[in-house]
Structure 1
Amino acid sequence: MTELHITPAREQDLPAAAAVLARAFHDDPVMAAILPGGRRLERLSTLFAAMLRGAPFETGSVDLARRAGDDAIVGVAAWEGPVTASLPWRQLPGYLSALGVAGLVRAAVLSSRLARHRPRSPHWYLAQIGVSPAARGLGVGGALLRSRLETLDVTRATAYLESSTADNRRLYGRLGFEEIAPIRGIRGADPMAMLRPPAPARHPVPARGA
């Protein structure tokens, strides 16, 4: 089994992390709905760079996976924390460069539609998770998720995400996420809202004779 190290991103890591997400999401149906047309990889890299610098880096965590002894990033999980982030004005040029004005409107409509399903109570939101194509099948996505979910269990925090594929939903289900509602109205995609309450606390087994 490949040994993986999971660490939080530093600011200088964000461009490389955005490039990993761009490759991972190149054929994603939800991204295709807001970013049609050519130069997909370049525009996705610009888009994810802006997204990572916003709420995930400000209020949550951008978790990175690397193989032991290798500095190359092979997986990224971007979590927004329960604290409200500032409006992303500083990232607006990046959003415009990637999406254009029409795409920015499409993204705003999509974001509004997705937000309707998010819990009202405080929670951690998995905004993006992606694995480098060369590292698929090595358990990178599961390692990234388990690393953060273990922390959320300790702090008794709820996690929420939207899953756009059946394969991903099976992985999330094994990690404790429950399907709560399909999200309708997105052309070419049918994502599912999924919620994970913190796992029950494990009580230590008393020693014999105690």
Structure 2
Amino acid sequence: MSPTATSVARAATLDDVPGIARVLSLALHDDPLFLWLFPDEETRMAKVRRFFALTSGFGYVPAGDTRVTELAETEDSAPTVRAAALWAPPTSNPEGPLVSMRTWPHWGALIGRARLTAFIRLFAEWKMATPQEPHLYLAALGVDPSATDLGLGRSLLASGLEEADAQRLPVFTQTLDVKSVGFYERFGFEVVREVEHEGAGTSHFLFRPAA
């Protein structure tokens, strides 16, 4: 039986972190970023899951504006997180110094010393490309592959864009997956910059002007 939506997009809580990490790892484990960051296919899924548990648990849930959508297999079954979007409003800093201090001890063990320096360099290049003006930032968007035909990703993105429009804020995101560029362009984003990273591919920085 196909899952059915039991709730609209809602703000995530810390109790949702395992579900967020599960969904984003299922959706994004084959993203070029993670193919490069975690080259071992056998351990990649688990490491991407840990990556998003750290990112959301320390940063984007308590200090950002993470949204989730739940689905249930049947009317009697408990709903589970099937889609997630990690947002950062201009008044928040889910990747700031305090969060970095708390997560730093975990990154070395997860990524490995050989790749960590290159990842820090890539992350710094992302930060340098960030607009200076106040904006809404989308760090990650993903849908459980079992629910990809239900429009959950589009709905979560549209919900965030509506809030940005209401506040007259531009929106910024980036991706190393060229296949995602067209998806974002359909929502009014434009590629404003591209940066090539040795071994990792090309970052496409996308900007959606304020309404």
Q: Normalising by structure 2, what TM-score?
A: 0.85
Q: Which runs of 5+ in 1 are unaligned?
A: 200-210
Deviation at 1:89, TM superposition (A): 1.9
SS of match in other structure, 2:193 = strand
Structure 1 residue 164: Cα displacement:
2.7
Secondary structure of 2:30's aligned partner: coil
Residue 122 of structure 2: aligned partner: 110
What is the match of residue 59 of structure 2?
Answer: 55
Change (3 A) 1:155 1:167: same
Q: CA deviation at 1:168?
A: 1.9
Aligned to 1:65: 69
Asked whether the equivalents of residues 32 and 176 of structure 2 are also in contact (C-alpha less than 8 Å), the reply is yes
Give ranges in structure 2 of 5+ residues lacking alignment.
none
The answer for the alignment partner of 2:86 in structure 1 is: 78
Change (3 A) 1:29 1:173: same
User: Size of the alignment, in residue pairs?
Assistant: 199
Kept in 1, the 8 Å contact 2:195–2:202? The answer is yes
Cα pair 2:13 2:62 within 8 Å, conserved = no
The 8 Å contact of residues 8 and 70 in structure 2, kept in 1 or not, is answered as yes
**Matching residue of 1:203:** none
Give the one of 174, 179, 185 matched to 1:162: 174
The structure carrying a bigger helix percent of its residues is: 2
SS at match of 1:136: helix
> Greater CA deviation, 50-59 or 141-150?
50-59
Q: CA deviation at 1:48?
A: 0.8
Runs of 4+ that moved beyond 6 A: none
- Residues 64-100 of structure 1: per-residue CA shift (max 9 Å, x gap): 1223765111111101222333342222343233212
Q: TM-score, normalised by structure 1?
A: 0.85
Secondary structure of 1:126's partner? strand
Percent identical: 28
- Distance (Å, rounded) in 1 between the aligned partners of 2:202 and 2:82: 27
Question: Does structure 1 conserve the Cα–Cα contact (< 8 Å) formed by 2:14 and 2:62?
Answer: no
Q: SS in structure 1 opposite 2:202?
A: coil
